[in-house]
Chain A
Amino acid sequence: MSDAFARACGAVLRPPATERPFVRWMLIATAVAFLLVFLLLPLVAVFFEAFSKGVVAYFAAITERDALAAMRLTLLVAAISVPANLVFGVAAAWAVAKFEFRGKSVLVTLIDLPFSVSPVTSGLIYVLIFGAQGWLGPTLQAHGIQVIFAVPGIVLATLFVTFPFVARELIPIMQEQGTRDEEAALSLGAGGFRTFFRVTLPNIKWALLYGVLLCNARAMGEFGAVSVVSGKIRGQTNTMPLHVEILYNEYMGVAAFAVASLLALIAMITLAAKTGLEWRYADEIAATRRH
């Protein structure tokens, strides 16, 4: 083989653990096309449809009275569920991560249960208890307390579906961090709560934020469970996702997509914040790739 020929061949030879450039670009093109079609296009469609009758119609839709009521209810439900499950998540993570006890893995599995239940079933179980033909329903109704087809039911259903989010993010990271820092604080004379707020909390703040972010996204966006318990009374027991459904079923497409676009906006902000946290604090967020 002559030198020139060999060198020409050398120019074509590539590092051994790679594909031919053609193959590489085909794979990239296919993957990108798949993602664009299946993920990006729906998002674009939401905003496209929302503004399809112009900006005025858009703003009219999102400032309409029932829409605003739905937004208020969504925010209320989130404002109750997220802090409640935040406190729970911290307590559960504290118990699981800082102590050794029998049945720990059973507890962790139970905490994950809501993930394996269909949203509709999540709502169903509350109907069975609090519904008109349910176990406690008639009794409560006799006392004037309405759970199903009212706000309390919506809150309960949302609590159920958002239950594990914060705990799942905190448990791994707190387990990894162990008890060293807390033991050091205690040996220096700090009490329990002081130790928690001054020592533990700073160590877990990014994982906590991450969990709250996911919990909030689910709380605001939950549809199936809330749909079952809600009764869908406009202006009263409609969250934003339910309102979207109602508008859509009444062929008010633009209005439906307008409200949906607000939810999509929240989703995009959640995604951006989530990604930002992952990029900067990957070490402090244990389960960045686990869902």
Chain B
Amino acid sequence: MEALVHTDPRFAVVGERPAVPPPPSSPATWGAPVGVTVEHVVKAFGETPALFDVSLRIAPGELVALLGPSGSGKTTLLRVLAGLEFPTGGRVLFGDDDALGLSVQDRHIGFVFQSYALFKSMRVFDNIAFGLRARPSRTRPSRSAIRDRVMRLLELVQLAGLEDRYPSQLSGGQRQRVALARALAIEPRVLLLDEPFGALDSKVRRELRRWLRELHEETGHTTVFVTHDQEEAIELADRIVVLNRGRIEQVGTPDEIYDRPASAFVAGFIGESTMLPTRLEDGRLFLDDRSLDIPVNGDDGPRTLVFRPHDVELVGDRPGAIAGRVVAERRHGASRRLDVEIGLRRHRVEVDVPAGYPQVDKGNRITFLPNRWWLFAA
């Protein structure tokens, strides 16, 4: 059994991935991708602060997820990166250049909205070509160059042949890909996606996730996307930034976030978790009146014990185990999930046992210990 005790919940990990140069034939890149640096950004809407002292560094070519519940500030942070909002304090750098001095038009980012925001009165072709045609005549490509580029992008997003359709004639997943192609057309330095798959049904969502990952491998843009779906973040991102109420709770790879959560919030938000209020006294951990067989160190005080429901071992009834009474049981995927009432205060927790395990009935007493757990200051 591993002992994990964390006392400092917040740290930003400096990215170490080497920049991946994009394949030369990709139509959507412009030189090498840039990194993004966020330093002590604060954003308040009137009296309500949405972001408190957020600092972050994103490596060039990285695919980063901003993950958190609603109200966590993740969309605000994304919009600050885009230039759709301006922070009340702090700095944002694209590479070495100050980004805050630029309007959204000049920042050269690609933004994909949750609702796609496609221009309904224009065909798919014109939507994608919009950014290119909007350039001042000095930098605007020729008509044939624009056409070329749009067609290659359509191929890239696997919508070739649909250039004359209108957005109303496309499915949700197709619209999403047009929105992406439109953002890629202007060769953005950074690609920003706001809950890109939020409005789609789950099957389409899963397909598009896979597809976005492949697209990212091929084009190599620095990409930041916002999601409230932790499964999505874990599946897609190189690194995840977990936000809660305007603050960064943790930054790390999916494995780090899942296996080494930095706070009770992260442990609770990622994956399933069971929490029990405990206290540390004289070097031992107590659940109500019972001392648990869990090695601890640190100062006395209340702690939250967190473990995954499936990461427990049923043990014999002995003083150091967590003991409780089963009040409900049901099938849960490949195992059985038990609702257990524990201790004097009857804390309700969920615990999984393998499906083939001998029948555990309602009303039975059950004793277990977690294989893997975390303790956080309560």
Contacts and interface: CB of A to CB of B under 8 A. Distances in A.
Contacts, number: 31
B80 to A, nearest CB: 12
Interface string B74-85: 000000000111
Contacts of B100: 6-7, 9-10
Interface string A1-21: 101011101100101100000
Given A1-B101, A3-B91, A9-B101, A16 B86 contact: no
Nearest to A5: B101
A200 B369 CA distance: 66
Nearest to A10: B100
Grouping DSSP codes into helix (H, G, I), strand (E, B) and loop, the A interface class, with mixed when no group exceeds half, is helix
Contacts of A1: 97-98, 101
B108 to A, nearest CB: 14
A198 to B, nearest CB: 44
A10 B86 contact: yes
Contacts of B83: 13, 16
Interface in B101-158: 101-105
Contacts of A6: 91, 98, 100-101
B101 A10 contact: yes
A16 B101 contact: no
Size band of the interface chain A makes with B: 10 to 19
B367 to A, nearest CB: 57
B98 A16 contact: no
B101 A15 contact: no
B84 A16 contact: yes
The residue in B86, B98, B101, B104 that gathers the most chain A C-beta atoms within 10 A of its C-beta is B101
Nearest to A11: B86
A7 B177 CA distance: 36
B86 A13 contact: yes
B63 to A, nearest CB: 25
Interface residues of B, number: 13
Given A3-B91, A10-B86, A16 B103 contact: yes
A13 B85 CA distance: 10
B84 A15 contact: yes
A14 to B, nearest CB: 8
A132 B209 CA distance: 83
Interface string A72-108: 0000000000000000000000000000000000000
A5 B91 CA distance: 13
A1 B101 CA distance: 8
Nearest to A2: B98
A188 B85 CA distance: 57
The residue in A5, A9, A16 that gathers the most chain B C-beta atoms within 10 A of its C-beta is A16
A9 B83 CA distance: 13
A15 B91 CA distance: 17
Interface in A163-221: none
B33 to A, nearest CB: 21
Nearest to B103: A13
A140 to B, nearest CB: 59
Contacts of B104: 16
A29 to B, nearest CB: 25
A7 B87 CA distance: 11
Interface in B50-96: 83-86, 91
Contacts of B97: 1
A10 B87 CA distance: 9
A15 B97 CA distance: 21
Contacts of A10: 86, 100-101
A19 to B, nearest CB: 13
A1 B96 CA distance: 9
A9 to B, nearest CB: 4
The residue in A3, A7, A9, A13 that gathers the most chain B C-beta atoms within 10 A of its C-beta is A13
B281 to A, nearest CB: 51
B34 to A, nearest CB: 15
The residue in B83, B91, B103 that gathers the most chain A C-beta atoms within 10 A of its C-beta is B103
Contacts of A16: 83-84, 103-105
A262 to B, nearest CB: 48
Contacts of B101: 1, 5-7, 9-10, 13
Interface of A: 1, 3, 5-7, 9-10, 13, 15-16
10 contacts: A1-B97, A1-B98, A6-B98, A9-B100, A9-B101, A10-B100, A10-B101, A13-B86, A15-B85, A16-B105
Given A1-B101, A3-B91, A16-B104, 4 more contacts: A10-B100, A13-B101, A13-B102, A16-B84
When A and B form their complex, which 6 residue pairs have the shortest distance between CB atoms, in order from nearest?
A: A6-B101, A9-B101, A6-B98, A16-B104, A1-B98, A10-B100
